[in-house]
Amino acid sequence: MKPTALGKKFYVVVNIAPHNAKLKTFIRDLKPVVEMGPDALIMSDPGLIMLVREHFPEMPIHLSVQANAVNWATVKFWQQMGLTRVILSRELSLEEIEEIRNQVPDMEIEIFVHGALCMAYSGRCLLSGYINKRDPNQGTCTNACRWEYNVQEGERR
């Protein structure tokens, strides 16, 4: 039974930033997910959004927090591309959120109000990939930014 048949919302998050090799199977892999009838896909990569628009034009798309929307012009751009909701970047102030709302009043906006705040801008972290060879932009973040580190002084030159 589909979640929507139970009166529940069902969203699928597609937050990867794929290299060319992953593009080859993306639509094929996504097709059974779309057939499940989610209320929307939550996406961050412009190229993948374009592919979904081409292959599944009726599928609603929400812009992920990982896309790092930090200004009203970006929100307006995505609205013009047919997205129905934008999840704003966690790094915004209340004043910035208010300005976005005032400039783009007819776009649905979602905001995180609790949770971890990455040391990098949302969706732009490279630390996990550097330390552990696990790319956070491929869905394999190890949260290396939250580990406890010791500072050791090196040899002075």
What is the per-residue pLDDT across 35-80, written as a single tens digit (0 to 9) for each? 999 999 999 999 999 999 999 999 999 999 989 999 999 999 999 9
Q: Residue 111: which residues within 8 A CB-CB, separation 6 or more? A: 87, 88, 92, 97
Res 117 pLDDT > 90: no
Res 130 pLDDT > 90: no
What does the pLDDT average to over 127-133?
A: 70
Q: What percent of the chain has pLDDT over 90?
A: 57
What does the pLDDT average to over 100-121?
A: 84
pLDDT at 82: 95
pLDDT band at 32; cut points 50, 70, 90 = very high
- The yes/no answer on whether domain 3-115 falls in CATH 3.40.630.30 is no
Q: Say if residues 8 and 36 touch (Cβ distance below 8 Å).
A: no
Please tell me which residue, 41 or 23, carries the higher pLDDT value: 41
Strand blocks (E) in the chain: 11-14, 40-43, 61-63, 85-87, 108-110
| Cα–Cα nearest to 87, from 105, 113, 48, 56 | 113
Res 126 pLDDT > 80: no
pLDDT at 2: 67
pLDDT band at 122; cut points 50, 70, 90 = low
Task: Give the residue extent of every domain in the chain.
Answer: 3-115, 125-157
Average pLDDT, the chain: 87
DSSP 88: -
